[in-house]
């Protein structure tokens, strides 16, 4: 029954999001499908937290009324399109039709299939699911809402991350109310986020005009690499895949030339930022970076329309973050990892990160983060580079300012933080290679 | 030439990831599900025998306790560091979500209604009266507050 609840929740979120995503301009069905799923997750989790802020318990009625209102609103909102200068998407050749599976898709499906199979068997349960996500899930389900009184217990501040955003426990608690608590089924939410990340990277590359080989190779790499890390680092029931997905969802907008950015890009970045901010505390920083970089790109082209663009970009994050921040303020919850910046730790922190690039569960592939300067050097990939560099800088700042020694902190967290960034870095590098190899041909033409 | 270099680089990435993925899957199959050398409770995984015994004990307690009871659960200490007590508490809070589980090391500072003692956990507060007993441990009701922190740290 719990697995049926997972299927019902996922399809329900897809349906909730589809009403909105189907009205957004996207050049690939992969992007549209993933945007629909992300929209559904954000709307459902945001609504659940909002209801708790208002003291309304989660029931069929209390959740159905906002969901129906959302569906009506989604049909009423205007269709979003690209900027006037946006050229129509070229018709892809037969081999690049989105539904046609290539060799890379097959590899990704096999790898992710193995990952999902192991997760469904309960072999990949993430330790933090026991240590806080799973406990919060059960507490929220029992309380039929965000259990602020529980989160505010004095000893939880040092143990349980009571200040973290609630996307995973909210969705898990709703699944629990539907079909009972089953860690394996709730862990599949993280696996679905990993699968959606691979699908979104494929869509982003196709939208960016990458060659068939590059799309297939990157899809194969992403599927195998995320499955590798998901198995090695037992990621079922972790919120980290949602941050990787958030960055992947923003990728099509970050890869587009700034003159072609329109309302569709604002909405896409806005929803990606809202997903990040709903999922983890470091996602709030990622949300800020996404909005900032996108806002700067929009403003430098057309400052007159930037106010409306800013509203479209920032509003989803504001809507999901406000009830969460209200709860933090009302119950006095603060991050246990916040302290004073200590620059004397720089050698230790950089040394620890350097070691983790080689030692972590990435089979050495975390070293591909060192390719980040390549995306900063190319003007067409610079937006991706700035977001990733900014987020990486935030992680380094966290290690430098943590109120405890950074050694074990880096060992236990940096491989997972790499998951947020590595997929888009490698995708950007693959696109750079693709454009580099196509450049002489275009010149000759 | 550029095309060959580009394809070679991307192919190398794919092969690298595939080898890693297969090796991770093989390592997962070979991974011991229960390593007796890792005696600390926080190393235990959901499916292994000690967590199953603890889970069984906590379910027995759950059937006896009133709704949202405030209790501490003492489990045997090991020679691990202080973090071990913290992770033990988190396991118990995860397995006993219907009640307000208080870390045993805060028992002196927080009023308690019940005290549960997993077998081999050692001292029991003097103000505790036995309520129920199972092969895995004993449940006590507190008749008054504990005077000093007891047990698990």
CB contact under 8 A, B14 and A214: no
Overall residue count recorded for chain A in this entry? 445
**Predicted confidence (pLDDT) per residue in A131-156, tens digit:** 889 999 999 999 999 999 888 888 77
* Higher pLDDT among residues B39 and A87, named by residue: A87
Q: What is the mean pLDDT of residues A217-245?
A: 93
Q: What average pLDDT does this structure show over A278-299?
A: 93
Crossing angle of helices A29-53 and A60-76, rounded to 10°: 130
- What value of ipTM does the predicted structure carry? 0.84
pLDDT tens for each residue of A294-321 = 999 988 887 777 788 888 899 999 999 9
Tokens of B9: 């680089």
Instruction: Kindly state the average pLDDT of the residues A41-63.
Output: 92
Give how far A187 is from chain B: nearest CA, Å.
13
* pLDDT tens column, A28-44: 888 889 999 999 999 99
Whether the CB of B1 is below 8 Å from some CB of chain A: the reply is: no
Which range, of A115-124, B2-11, B108-117, averages the lowest pLDDT? B108-117
Using the Cβ of A332 and the Cβ atoms of chain B, whether some distance falls under 8 Å is answered with no
- pLDDT above 80 (res A167): yes
Q: A214 in contact with B at a CB cutoff of 8 Å? A: yes
Residue A135 CB-density burial (10 A; 0-12 exposed, 13-18 middle, 19+ buried) = buried
pLDDT value for B146: 60
pLDDT digits (tens, 9 = 90+) for B115-135: 888 877 767 777 778 888 888
Q: How many angstroms separate the CA atoms of A436 and A416, rounded?
A: 31
Number of inter-chain CB pairs under 8 A, A vs B: 113
Predicted pLDDT at B32? 60
**Residue B40 scores a pLDDT above 50:** no
A420 touches chain B (CB under 8 A): no
Question: In the structure encoding, which two tokens stand for residue A381, read together?
Answer: 């990939």
Q: Determine the Cα–Cα distance for residues A289 and A391; give it in Å rounded to an integer.
A: 7
B24 chain-A contacts, CB cut-off 8 A: 227-229, 231-232, 361, 363
Contact between A259 and A297 under an 8 Å Cβ cutoff? The reply is: no
Residue pLDDT, tens place only, B7-32? 999 999 999 999 999 988 888 777 66
Runs of H (alpha helix) within A366-405? 372-377, 382-401
Compute the nearest-CA separation of B26 from chain A (Å): 10
**Own/partner pairs for A56-59, CB < 8 Å, 24+ apart?**
A56/A145, A57/A143, A57/A144, A57/A145, A58/A144, A58/A145, A58/A173, A58/A174, A58/A177, A59/A144
pLDDT digits (tens, 9 = 90+) for A347-394: 999 999 999 888 768 888 999 999 999 888 888 899 999 999 999 999
* Residues of chain A numbered 152-211 and touching chain B (CB < 8 Å): 153, 155, 158-160, 183
Nearest to A433 among B10, B19, B46 (CB): B10
Taking the Cβ of residue B70 and every Cβ of chain A, the question of whether any pair is shorter than 8 Å is answered with no
For residue B28, count other CB atoms closer than 10 A to its CB. Answer: 15
The reply to whether B89 touches chain A by the CB within 8 Å rule is yes
Tokens 């603060």, residue? A334
CA A319 from centroid of its chain's CA atoms:
17
Report residue A94's pLDDT band, with 50, 70 and 90 as the boundaries.
Answer: low
Query: Exposed, middle or buried: residue A274 (CB in 10 Å: 0-12, 13-18, 19+)?
Result: buried
């Amino acid at each position: 029954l719990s697995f049926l609840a997972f299927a019902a929740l996922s399809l329900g979120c897809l349906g909730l999001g589809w009403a909105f995503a189907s009205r957004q301009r996207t050049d690939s069905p992969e992007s549209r499908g993933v945007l629909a799923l992300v929209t559904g997750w954000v709307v459902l989790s945001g609504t659940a937290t909002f209801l708790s802020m208002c003291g309304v318990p989660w029931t069929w009625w209390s959740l159905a009324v906002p969901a129906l209102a959302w569906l009506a609103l989604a049909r009423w909102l205007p269709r979003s399109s690209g900027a006037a200068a946006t050229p129509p998407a070229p018709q892809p050749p037969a081999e690049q039709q989105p539904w046609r599976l290539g060799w890379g898709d097959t590899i990704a499906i096999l790898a992710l299939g193995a990952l999902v199979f192991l997760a469904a068997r309960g072999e990949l349960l993430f330790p933090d699911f026991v240590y806080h996500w799973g406990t919060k899930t059960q507490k929220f389900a029992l309380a039929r809402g965000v259990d602020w009184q529980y989160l505010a217990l004095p000893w939880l501040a040092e143990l349980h991350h009571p200040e973290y955003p609630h996307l995973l426990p909210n969705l898990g608690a709703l699944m629990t109310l539907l079909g009972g608590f089953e860690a394996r089924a709730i862990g599949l939410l993280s696996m679905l986020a990993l699968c959606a990340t691979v699908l979104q990277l494929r869509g982003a590359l196709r939208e960016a005009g990458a060659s068939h080989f590059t799309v297939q190779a990157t899809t194969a790499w992403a599927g195998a690499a995320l499955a590798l890390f998901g198995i090695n680092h037992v990621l079922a029931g972790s919120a980290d895949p949602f941050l990787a997905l958030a960055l992947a969802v923003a990728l099509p907008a970050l890869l587009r030339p700034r003159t072609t950015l329109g309302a569709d890009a604002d909405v896409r970045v806005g929803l990606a930022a809202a997903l990040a901010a709903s999922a983890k505390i470091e996602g709030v920083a990622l949300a800020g970076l996404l909005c900032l970089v996108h806002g700067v790109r929009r403003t430098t082209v057309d400052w007159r329309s930037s106010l409306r663009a800013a509203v479209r970009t920032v509003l989803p994050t504001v809507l999901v973050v406000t009830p969460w921040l209200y709860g933090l303020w009302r119950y006095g919850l603060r991050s246990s990892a916040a302290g004073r910046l200590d620059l004397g730790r720089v050698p230790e922190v950089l040394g620890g990160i350097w070691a983790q690039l080689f030692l972590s569960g990435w089979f050495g592939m975390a070293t591909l983060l060192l390719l980040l300067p390549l995306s900063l050097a190319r003007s067409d990939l610079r937006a991706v580079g700035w977001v990733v560099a900014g987020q990486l800088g935030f992680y380094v700042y966290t290690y430098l300012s943590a109120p405890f020694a950074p050694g074990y902190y880096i060992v236990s967290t940096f491989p997972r933080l790499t998951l947020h960034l590595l997929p888009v870095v490698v995708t950007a590098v693959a696109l750079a290679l693709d454009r580099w190899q196509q450049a002489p041909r275009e010149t000759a033409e | 030439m550029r095309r060959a270099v580009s394809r070679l680089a991307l192919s190398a990435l794919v092969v690298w990831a595939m080898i890693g993925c297969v090796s991770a899957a093989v390592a997962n199959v070979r991974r011991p599900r229960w390593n007796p050398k890792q005696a600390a409770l926080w190393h235990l995984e959901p499916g292994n025998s000690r967590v199953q015994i603890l889970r069984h004990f906590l379910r027995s307690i759950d059937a006896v306790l009133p709704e949202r009871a405030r209790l501490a659960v003492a489990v045997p200490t090991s020679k691990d560091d202080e973090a071990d007590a913290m992770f033990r508490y988190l396991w118990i809070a995860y397995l006993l979500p219907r009640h307000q589980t208080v870390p045993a090391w805060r028992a002196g500072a927080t009023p308690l209604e019940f005290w549960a003692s997993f077998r081999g956990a050692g001292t029991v507060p003097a103000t505790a009266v036995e309520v129920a007993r199972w092969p895995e441990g004993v449940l006590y009701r507190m008749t008054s507050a504990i005077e000093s922190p007891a047990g698990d740290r």
